[in-house]
A and B are shown apart, each in its own frame.
Chain A
Amino acid sequence: MSKFIQTNGRHRTIEGWPLVFTVLTVICVLVGGTVEFLPLVLMEGNIPVISSVTPYTPLELAGRDLYIREGCVNCHSQMIRPFRDELERYGDYSKPGESVYDRPFLWGSKRTGPDLARVGGKYPDLWHVRHMEDPRSTSPNSIMPPYDWLLSKTLKLNDLPAKMRGLKSLGTPYSTADIDGSVEDANAQAENLARNIAANGGPEDLADKEIVAVVAYLQRLGTDLTKLTN
């Protein structure tokens, strides 16, 4: 060691060899990431499969991409930690197998608002609509920005087949029928949701608006695990 770093030691030699110096640096840099990452890919025991976890429906997928577009992840985590207070507040802690279809993962790094990993089913659909339109109407003192444009902007579904084909090639088990019928499927789910919202006294004309996709996604979050216990 001391021979290596002393004045005019070995290190002095490689200081004159930029190529060698660069190669050594690259090697040093690659070791850590490789050693940590390979087991996550190669060893299945690290991410136990949960049979009830299924891919997002086309409408949920569209909603998820809107959730990404609006940057919800900047303030809301989707990752319940194994602490008793989080179990009380949010429900069972998040399992590795629950996010196998999450591209990208949306665990977040900051909770300016509450965790959403298990928000699915916690509030009525109409609650979410009103909350997005004006957060303070359902949650007094909330600091969340309003997302009222979600109630007026038309939901675009025509890119769903391309998105689902992409996800399929990455490993999400969508069938060809799923992909071919994706727009129809999304429309049906959206109409269902919109009917329920209207029946509860909400706005009448939301079936082709972005908000229904976002609500569909939010109502899905964390519910795969309860399907298993029921």
Chain B
Amino acid sequence: MSKMDSNPKTSVSDEPLISGHNYDGIEEFDNPMPGWWVWMFVACILWTPVYILGVHQFGFINSYEDDLSSSQMELAQWRADYEAANPTAVATEESIAPFVNVPQNIEAGATLFSTYCAMCHGAAAEGLIGPNLTDDYWIHGNTNSNLFDVITNGVLEKGMTPWGAVLDVDQRSQVIAFIRSIHGSNPPGAKAPDGELATPND
């Protein structure tokens, strides 16, 4: 038996036990609170009025509104910088046309279509909640820029989601390239025609 085991209560130091504190054999030392603990506690308490006044009175700490508006300004700046460095003119018939019939654009468009469009237009664009995109009938026109506008801004009253914030100009053009590539494919389960008979260059 080591000394420690035989007399555990005095093995650490000469800490004072508090006389009279014995509860079912549990005793208590009269140790002071650790200094670092006290000072950390005091520091947290002192910091409280600084923070409260900083946010809600003197404004040297950002509030929700401060953070939101500065981050929004930063975002606008990024967009402006990007636009300046990569000027993308608004899509036109001329800017979209070169995308069509290019295999790699069709392939990229197909991937985008299955991610974003298939949920409403069907996996093969046969039409589901949204219309069939493989036939000759179009509700909102059939020029490349008609398609581009619908993809960009959506048709809210019919449930078509605007994708302008999600897909960039090139991606939207790739989706159009894909749609052009499946024209007349007559997929199984194709939805009945809707809208006007229209060819791309009407």
Contacts and interface: CB of A to CB of B under 8 A. Distances in A.
A137 B122 CA distance: 10
A108 interface: no
A121 B156 contact: yes
B102 interface: no
A123 B68 contact: no
Contacts of B71: 83-84
A88 B191 contact: no
Nearest to A141: B115
Given A83-B68, A123-B161, A201 B128 contact: yes
A122 interface: yes
B120 A127 contact: yes
Contacts of A82: 64-65, 67-68
A88 B165 contact: yes
B80 interface: no
A16 to B, nearest CB: 12
A96 B119 CA distance: 34
Interface of chain A, helix or strand or loop or mixed?
Answer: loop
Interface size class of chain B, counting residues whose CB lies under 8 Å from the partner chain: 20 to 34
A9 to B, nearest CB: 11
A73 to B, nearest CB: 23
Interface string B4-37: 0000000000000010000000000010000000
Contacts, number: 43
A124 B159 contact: yes
A7 B31 CA distance: 10
A129 to B, nearest CB: 9
A122 B30 CA distance: 66
A127 B75 contact: no
A87 B75 CA distance: 12
A127 B129 CA distance: 7
Contacts of B128: 201
B104 interface: no
Contacts of B115: 140
Interface residues of A, number: 21
A35 B165 CA distance: 44
A84 B18 contact: no
Interface in A104-139: 121-127, 130, 137-139
Contacts of A125: 159
B68 to A, nearest CB: 4
B117 to A, nearest CB: 12
B68 A7 contact: no
Contacts of A200: 129
A138 B161 CA distance: 14
Contacts of B64: 82
B48 to A, nearest CB: 13
Contacts of A122: 161
B129 A126 contact: yes
24 contacts: A82-B65, A82-B67, A82-B68, A83-B68, A83-B71, A84-B68, A84-B72, A84-B75, A87-B72, A88-B165, A93-B68, A121-B156, A123-B120, A123-B161, A124-B120, A126-B129, A127-B119, A127-B120, A127-B159, A130-B129, A140-B114, A140-B115, A140-B118, A201-B128
